[in-house]
Amino acid sequence: MASYSQFTLKRYFATMAWKKDLSLLLLRLCAGGLMVPHGWGKLNRLMTGLEAGEVKFYNWMGIGTEASLGLAVFGELVAPAFIVLGLFTRWMSIPAAITMAVAAFGAHAGDPIGDKEHALLFLVPFVVLALLGGGRYGLDSRIGRPK
């Protein structure tokens, strides 16, 4: 016969699905929601830079400052907005994670860890979301897409 502690643990672990989905919701809302203002600032920077005729930004892989800033806007504004909604979460987490990796290991490669810290702290949740998806509490599950 099972003891009380075994029964309680069995019941606890049997109900983990909703906790995982709630955790993924919290991760999506926090990581995506906190990233959107960064992307919005970069979008404004891109627009004013294009109007002024000069965009100053990290030139990733030699593709040009305008293209690099445009990709950063996608990775920091568009993709996180989709992540917050839970729509195409796995796919949108990839450009967000790549943007953070480029920021940490490219743009701030020679900087001290304190300057890389924000990018690294955003990189990890986006990688987790790319691996696990957005969970049950996102639009993906509402429209029948894989969670």
For the cut 80, the answer to whether the pLDDT of residue 147 exceeds it is: no
pLDDT of residue 138: 92
Mean pLDDT of 105-118: 93
For the cut 70, the answer to whether the pLDDT of residue 1 exceeds it is: no
Task: Report which of 73, 82, 88, 1 is spatially closest to residue 37, judged by C-alpha positions.
Answer: 73
Domain extents in the chain: 27-137
**pTM, two decimal places:** 0.85
Q: How far apart are CA 64 and CA 103, in angstroms?
A: 16
Under the banding of pLDDT at 50, 70 and 90, the label for residue 72 is very high
What percent of the chain has a predicted confidence (pLDDT) above 90? 70
Mean pLDDT of 36-52: 92
Packing angle, helices 65-73 and 89-102, rounded to 10:
140
pLDDT of residue 141: 85
